[in-house]
Amino acid sequence: MQFLLAIEGAIVQGLLWAILALGSYITFRLLNFTDMTVDGSFALGACVTATAIINGIPPILAILLALISGGLAGAITGFLHNKLDIPEVLSGILTQISLYSINLRIMGRANQQLLQYDTIFTQLQNSLASIGLNLNSNQVALIVGILLVALVILALYWFFGTEIGSIIRATGNNEDMVRALGQNTENTKFIALIIANACIALSGSLIAMYQGSADVSMGAGAIVIGLASIVIGEVVFSKVIRFGSKMVAIAIGSIIYRIIVAIVLQLGLNTNDLKLFSAIMVALALFLPNAVNKQQIKKAKALAEEESHHA
């Protein structure tokens, strides 16, 4: 029973973290931009949400504020890179470091409890209970997670099908070609960073409400979790080509990652070793497909040489 509850919680967390993975996918895969802002913008979304809720702002508006704040964090990274000519990795790191102090300023403390306040999860749970549907907190969070992940995927699918969205995708594939066509790649990077970090902050907002607390350090290692979800989704669904299907694969990859974590924790893994485990898992997920491809190429070459020798 305890194991099943752990898996149920893992699926919920996987859905809520999937929005972060989708944001990371925009920068790391579509834009080919190594954005290190992730850890800071994730915590920013949580801190903004917590501060808004304890000050009486409705949870829905708190989520909207988290989205805007995440977009602003992405805009800062874009400004540092585009206008100040700071390398992309360093731009993200500078924003991430500065966000730690900003998050402390926003909350006024290192952490904030939300258990005694209403969130979108408790509001939905109470609304369902009023019509006779008594669901536990994980079941309610599962409904919210599925709806929001579906909404984010649909919104991103629509946006990246527009002209500006197509230019962003083309910038990631071949920036020089996009420039040659007269497009401003600085603008496309700027827009993509805003959208990506808004998604990441949304994930932080939801996680804070789900776990009932926000902490200025809760984003530590978020970038690894995002990459793990992306890589697992791509490896498991390696045959998937369409853009919309890839986003669904990444969301499922996030759930798979959380289930794996839940299983190893149930088997006795020390929680202090969780980030090390995540890093090793990402490294293996990145290494194994390349190793398999190289082995297949070697076999194909050997077979071709053998056939030419017989001929």
Let me know if residue 207 belongs to a domain: yes
Q: What is the pLDDT of residue 181?
A: 83
Let me know if residue 86 belongs to a domain: yes
DSSP codes joined into one string, 158-223: HHTTSHHHHHHHHHHH-HHHHHHTT--HHHHHHHHHHHHHHHHHHHHHHHHHHHTEEETTTTTTHH
What global pTM score does this model have?
0.91
Element (H, E) at 112: strand 111-113
Of 192, 140, 144, which is closest to residue 33 (Cα–Cα)? 192
More confident residue, 308 or 231: 231
More confident residue, 90 or 293: 90
Let me know if residue 254 belongs to a domain: no
What range does the domain containing 112 cover?
2-221
**Of the given ranges (127-141, 197-211, 285-299), which has the lowest mean pLDDT?**
285-299
Structure-block tokens of residue 74: 């992405």
Let me know if residue 231 belongs to a domain: no
Let me know if residue 276 belongs to a domain: no
**CB 26 within 8 Å of CB 35:** no
The vertex-297 CA angle with 294 and 299, nearest 5°, equals 110
pLDDT above 80 for 3: no
Q: Write the single-letter amino acid at 257.
A: Y
Let me know if residue 83 belongs to a domain: yes
Distance CA 186, CA 85 (A): 11
Let me know if residue 143 belongs to a domain: yes
Let me know if residue 28 belongs to a domain: yes
Q: What is the pLDDT of residues 158-186, one digit of tens each?
A: 999 999 999 999 988 888 888 888 888 88
Considering its fold, how many domains does the chain have in total?
1
